Amino acid sequence: MKVKILLVEDEIKLANATRRALELQKYIVDVAYDGDKGLDLALGEKYDLMILDLMLPEIDGLEICKTVREEKITTPILMLTAKGQVSDKVIGLDAGADDYMVKPFSFEELFARVRALSRRTVKNKDQVLKVKNLTLDTNTSKVKMNNSPIELSPREFAILEYLMRNKNIVVSKQQIVNNVWNYETDILPTTIEVHIKHLRDKIDGVFGTDLIRTVRGFGYELNDEE
């Protein structure tokens, strides 16, 4: 399962370098360079982990953390700061942060903390998803229909996982983009259509089912009803 991370950091060079490093570790990363955008994303999108710089323009990381927790969002939060005093750490943890790391830091340490925090989210998610006779295992990245394997590209797998986690719910193309691609990635609607067609060909086309449905004007739905 792909882990999706929100990184809110106003030091542009550090933010971009951190994003590239995390993406090389196969994480999906959205970046906000100020507190306003960071808060909008934190409240409007679903993430498996949030990395917040404490000192930000407009709205600081502490305020983002407090607001997120007030909205009952339980996503793990790693707080970054140039301050290392014990009192600053206590304030951050009391606001709802799960971990605290002082800048400058090594990417190895960041990766270790990200792995530890993201495991909490993964444990709370179903690892084997099932819709009728279609199964998707997020641990092994294997998809089967009637126990017959289906070969999918990584992007097709991610889209199918998103549809299966939202079975019987119509999701828009933009929702698919937001949850499968990076926030800043410019994806055309036709790109989603092509991936959905490939999924249909490999699943409905081969097995004669009608699982992936188009709801015109709205988006797509993975049908789990009889």
Query: Residue 208 has what pLDDT?
Result: 93
Quick one: 61 and 40 in the same domain? Answer: yes
What sign results for the dihedral spanned by CA atoms 169, 175, 176, 178?
negative
Taking residue 86's Cβ as centre, other Cβ atoms within 10 Å add up to 7
**Tokens read off for 63:** 């305020």
Query: Residue 179 has what pLDDT?
Result: 75
Domain boundary among 102, 123, 144: 123
Quick one: 147 and 72 in the same domain? Answer: no
Kindly report each contact of residues 148-152 with a partner whose C-beta sits within 8 Å and lies 24 or more positions away, as own/partner.
148/207, 150/202, 150/203, 150/206, 151/202, 152/199, 152/202
Query: Residue 81 has what pLDDT?
Result: 83
Work out how many domains the chain is built from and give that number. Answer: 2
Query: Residue 26 has what pLDDT?
Result: 84
Query: Residue 83 has what pLDDT?
Result: 67
- Which run of H or E residues covers position 20? helix 12-24
Domain boundary among 101, 123, 145: 123
- Cα separation, 80 vs 53, in Å, equals 4
Quick one: 8 and 119 in the same domain? Answer: yes
Quick one: 117 and 15 in the same domain? Answer: yes
- Cα separation, 215 vs 100, in Å, equals 44
Quick one: 132 and 157 in the same domain? Answer: yes
Quick one: 72 and 172 in the same domain? Answer: no
Query: Residue 117 has what pLDDT?
Result: 86
Q: Measuring CA to CA, how many Å separate 41 from each of 89, 169, 170?
A: 24, 22, 21
- Cα separation, 97 vs 50, in Å, equals 9
- Cα separation, 135 vs 113, in Å, equals 31
Query: Residue 178 has what pLDDT?
Result: 75
**Tokens read off for 73:** 């969002």
Strands 28-32 and 128-131: what pairing? unpaired
Query: Residue 180 has what pLDDT?
Result: 80
pLDDT one digit per residue (tens) for the chain, 226 residues: 578 999 999 999 999 999 999 998 888 999 999 999 999 999 999 899 999 999 898 899 999 999 999 998 889 999 998 766 666 667 777 788 888 888 888 998 999 889 888 776 655 556 789 999 999 988 788 999 999 999 998 889 989 998 998 899 898 898 888 778 755 567 888 899 999 999 999 999 999 999 999 998 889 999 887 6
Domain boundary among 99, 123, 147: 123
Structural domain that includes position 183: 128-222
Quick one: 10 and 69 in the same domain? Answer: yes
